[in-house]
Amino acid sequence: MTYLDHAATTPMRPEAVEAFTAALTGTRNASSLHAGGRRARRLVEESRESLAEVLGARPSDVIFTGGGTESDNLAVKGLFWSRRAVDPQRRRVLVSAVEHPAVLDTASWLARQQGAVLETIPVDGTGLVHPEALRAAVQADPSSVALISVMWANSEVGTIQPVAELASIAHNYGIPFHTDAVQAFGQVETSFAASAADALTISAHKIGGPVGVGALLLRRGLELEPHLHGGGQERDVRSGTLNTPGVAAFAAAARVATAELPAERLRLTDLRDDLVRRVLAQVPGAVLNGAPSGAGRLPGNAHLTFPGCEGDSLLMLLDAHGVECSTGSACSAGIARPSHVLLAMGVEEAHARGSLRFSLGHGSVAADVDALVAVIGQVVERAGRAGELAGLISRA
């Protein structure tokens, strides 16, 4: 198989596998006070320090969770509840229109169940949140805003947001700012301090670590109401027995990903640009979505629309040829609706349905691009014929 879906998950790095398997044998509960528990605690804290170092944070900023979705939920719900408890008038939750479902659906739940007022910040045709758009949304009634959340890099089209500038606007009005950096971490330089964010989400399995472990970086002194209660682990923000092997593997993957980042960013950019150029040559009518190649786009992301085709048909036909990709966020896979990201960017619904995301990672090689290019023309032609037939049947 040719794997072009690294944005969904990327294979574990050998260093992470080694750290994970080493910690599986004889690992005790890191909250226990006996010698075995203290050894597990030491491994957790060393991993915390390692993650903090590569992320430009303090060890006390790092709160381990079960993954990116939990971290996003913890940040959005926790900040809303804490802010509302102090000032019941702070009910507005501002999120970009192109957020991952882990943020959008959480904010929607707060609106349905907790009295929040959800407002989406518009984006331009590349998926970019302009600072002026955020400033206008805040200025409508600054004293009523509970929090702002804008993802660092879009999970579908790869557009990178001006996070530090957006966070500065939030802070000018005393509003906490959260960013989902799950896609950014490991592909671009990701510094908690430089971002000026108050809370930041990352996940292990996007950088070559294991599934089931993530972290929320939370600025010290920021009040956040937990939604898991119990033993009081992780600053009493996220109770639960720590996943010591997962934490150790997460830190190992982060060290390698960060060390390789400068060279890997250039390599993936070249590979991605070659993919886009050759696919467009095979399918001249295809359209690249998101920011142009350069500093404003994730190096491993290529998101293309194939007019006249259905994305699901394209995906399955490519899969039959041994090429694995995605129609968008894997967390929304199987849902028969066009991408909310593309719709927010102004893409017509019919075109939004005919889009695919090809994402590259640490295991990607030139042969992967060759395999895609060898079949994409015939796949699009076949999917286009199927789309025409479906249209004739629906009109009959």
- Per residue of the chain (396 residues), what is the pLDDT tens digit? 999 999 999 999 999 999 999 999 878 999 999 999 999 999 999 999 999 999 999 999 999 999 999 999 999 999 999 999 999 999 999 999 999 999 999 999 999 999 999 999 999 999 999 999 999 999 999 999 999 999 999 999 999 999 999 999 999 999 999 999 999 999 999 999 999 999 999 999 999 999 999 999 999 999 999 999 999 999 999 999 999 999 999 999 999 999 999 999 999 999 999 999 999 999 999 999 999 988 899 999 999 999 999 999 999 999 999 999 999 754 555 555 789 999 999 999 989 999 999 999 999 999 999 999 999 999 999 999 876 655 555 555
Q: Give the model's pLDDT for residue 337.
A: 76
Which is nearest to 283 in space by CA: 361, 354, 214?
A: 354
**Partners of residue 113 on adjacent β-strands:** none
What is the arrangement of strands in the sheet containing 214-218, beginning at the earlier edge strand? 62-65, 214-218, 199-203, 177-180, 145-149, 92-96, 117-121
Name the token pair of 115: 């009295």
Q: Give the model's pLDDT for residue 395.
A: 56
Ranges for all domains in the chain classified under CATH 3.40.640.10? 14-255
Q: Report the CATH fold assignment for 2-7+261-395.
A: Aspartate Aminotransferase, domain 1 (3.90.1150)
- Is 309 assigned a catalytic role? no
Q: Give the model's pLDDT for residue 26.
A: 79
CATH class for the domain made up of 14-255: alpha beta
Packing angle, helices 163-172 and 131-139, rounded to 10: 20
CA dihedral sign, ordered 51, 192, 197, 163: negative
Ranges for all domains in the chain classified under CATH 3.90.1150.10? 2-7+261-395
Which listed residue (133, 331, 374, 386) is catalytic?
Answer: 331
**Partners of residue 95 on adjacent β-strands:** 120, 149
* CA terminus-to-terminus distance, the chain: 39
Return the HEC string of 103-133: HHHHHHHHHHHCCCEEEEECCCCCCCCCHHH
Total-model pTM: 0.94
Pairing of strands 145-149, 92-96: parallel
